[in-house]
Structures are given as structure tokens and as C-alpha cells.
Amino acid sequence: MKYSFRITLTLFIFSTAVIQCHKNATGPNHDNPPGTITQTALAPADGDCLFILGQASTTEMLAYMDRIQKSPPPAGFAFYTSLSDGAVQKDMPRYQSFMENYPNTVLQLAIWTGERQWGAPGYYLDDIVDGKYDKNIADLADACKNFGKPVYIRLGYEFDGWHNAYPPDKYIAAFQYFVDKMRAQNVKNVAYVWHSWGVGAYYGSEDFPDYYPALPQSQNVTQELWYPGDEYVDWVAMSVFGIGWGDLRTNNVVQWLIRFAEDHKKPVMLAETAAIKTTGSRDSKWILKDTAWFQHVFQLCRSEKAVKAFTYINVNWEANNSSSTWGNTRIQDAAGSVVNYWLENIKFYLHGDSKLYPAIGYK
């Protein structure tokens, strides 16, 4: 997904502040069994799931809260930035100003790291590792420390997408470099999110043979090729757009990512989701008329205890972008049956009230 289209925690090992993310968890603050990786994931216990509202446009966020549910507000809000063009310095004060109106909430922050249309594969990732954005990373670290809320950072979101074409080695190097730089600034309220686009991974050895070495015939292309390592990743995340119209419990990529997260003792975040129109043609009058997409997504959240955060993009895609064919996914504009179904289900998700921070182990 394009940063421009979307409208415009450190991974810190700390033995006394452990968040448990196992199947047998009864709360976020209890002793870990042997072998558990202790990291600041800021994740709730099994059976609980954050509701995060996306994305980027405060106008759309306020419209949702005005017409669907004002109190309690969502558990968090999803915004975007980049490490270039002074974006961090401009964006973070705006986000803080908005979120000060919602005391018990979290920030989900995506950091754009280039697309294939703008340069050689991974060009922006190279710039990160070369130190071009060190000053902006340091400013981001300071902004996060001063934010006063939990922050979930998605660096290089949808790393395995065709639109990004990130060579695995470049992505891993940039992710690790970024986390190390943030870590050096002693940031304690940030969790780091490794975000797949949720469909078959793009490995461009045919398009870009100089950037993607040929793999042995016996090796399958999976998202694991891009994995920065347990010590750098706090959450495993994915996007759910068109695939949400199908049964996600039988979706091979979705299930692979969840099993991978469980194997690595990581919580799962549905980092970008929307019940988009999939016809490929524009229709300014299209709205959500049935609950099929939501049934599949909510069913996944209920059946998979590893899923601990759900981010819904409540926007009118076609009104905001003249080239989009994704329709209007705003809950407040949907058919009455969809609104009722949403309200009946979303009430079971964690929201921005006094219970949220204790539930995720944030002090």
C-alpha cells in the first residue's frame, strides 16, 4: 500500500518486565516458562484482542467515533510516516496532539521504506543502512519516548509485496539496523512489528536477478526469507483485504504466518484490514451490504488465540483516491445489518479505557 495513498516498542530485552504471549497465558504479567523469549511486546493475554482504528485520516477517525461509537474509543489509532523529508518531525507532534484527547490508547505507526516504482529494489533500505536517516531515527526515538503511550512500529510494512520488491537481505539488514538504533536511544515503550502483505510472497529472481539470488529447487519461497530474527521482532503481522471474503482458517498464507508466529512465540497483528470491493471497477455508490467479510475476520480472531490486535481501515477509498476501485469500507455508511453485526462483535475487543494499559503490561 502506498504511503501517499494512505494520506499521510524498542525491541528491549528487560528481565523484570515480561509480557506473556503463550496459549496457556492467564494475564500479561506472570512468570515465563523455560525457553520463552522475554520481550516488550505489549500484547494482551490469550483471548483478548486490541481494536485499532485506521488509518491516517483523523477526519475519518472522528467520523467513525461520532457515528458508531464515541466511548470508549478504539484501543489505538493507525498512522503513517517515513524517515525522509522531515516527515517524523512533522508527523509525530500531530499524532500526539490528536491522541492526547484519548488518554488510554496506543499508536500503531507504519514507516514507509520505498517502492519498486521509485528505484532499484531496496534502494531506500540501503539508504537506511548507509546511515542517511540516522538523525531522523534519533528524532523518532525521542518522539516515541515523549509520546507517553505504547507505540507499535511497522518498519517496511508489506515487505514481501510485489509493490515493494524488497530483497530479503536488504530488508533484514534495514530492520535490524533500525531496531539497533532505536535500542541505543533507550526507548522502552515501542514494540516492533514484522508485517507481511498476507498473500504469496514476491521473490523477484526473474525480474531482478541481480538482487534476488536463485533459490535451490528444494527451497520454497516463504516469508521466513525476510525474517530479521526473534531478537528483533515483537509481533508478526499481516494485511487482510480481498482474502477476507474467503475462509481465513483455510487460507494457506494466513495459516502459515500464524503457525510461524506461534513457533516463534510472537503475537499476531492484523495490521491493515478492510472489507474492500474486489470487482476491479469503480462504483461511487458501493457500500458494504453483507457481513461475510467480517464473519471471516472475526472468526479468525476468535479461533486463533495468537491474534491479539485487529486494525480496521474505515475509509471511503474511491472518494479519497481517483484510481482506487476498493469502494467505501466505512462502517457508518454500511447497511444496517452490517452496522449491527459490527457493534455486536467489536464490543468484545479491547478499547481505550482504564483497563487497556494493565491488560498489555504498560506502565
What pLDDT, in 10s, does the model give residues 165-191?
999 999 999 999 999 999 999 999 999
H or E stretch at 313: strand 307-313
C-alpha cell at 60: 475519518
Contact 331, 293 (CB under 8 A): no
- From the list 91, 65, 1, the residue with the least C-alpha distance to 271 is 1
C-alpha cell at 266: 510472537
* Better-scored residue on pLDDT, 231 or 40: 231
pTM to 2 decimal places: 0.90
Going along the chain from its start, the domains and CATH numbers come out as 50-360 (3.20.20.80)
Contact 57, 31 (CB under 8 A): no
Distances (CA, A) of 114 to 84, 148, 280, 362: 10, 29, 25, 32
Contact 194, 236 (CB under 8 A): yes
Distances (CA, A) of 80 to 64, 110, 113, 314: 19, 5, 11, 15
**In sequence order, what are the residues at sequence separation of 6 or more whose Cβ sits closer than 8 angstroms to the Cβ of residue 325?**
277, 279, 280, 281, 282, 318
- Tens of pLDDT along 47-65? 999 999 998 999 999 999 9
Mean per-residue pLDDT, 284-308: 98
Compute the distance between CA of residue 176 and CA of residue 264 in angstroms, rounded to an integer. Answer: 17
For the chain, give the mean pLDDT: 91
- Tens of pLDDT along 191-225? 999 999 999 999 999 999 999 999 998 899 999 99
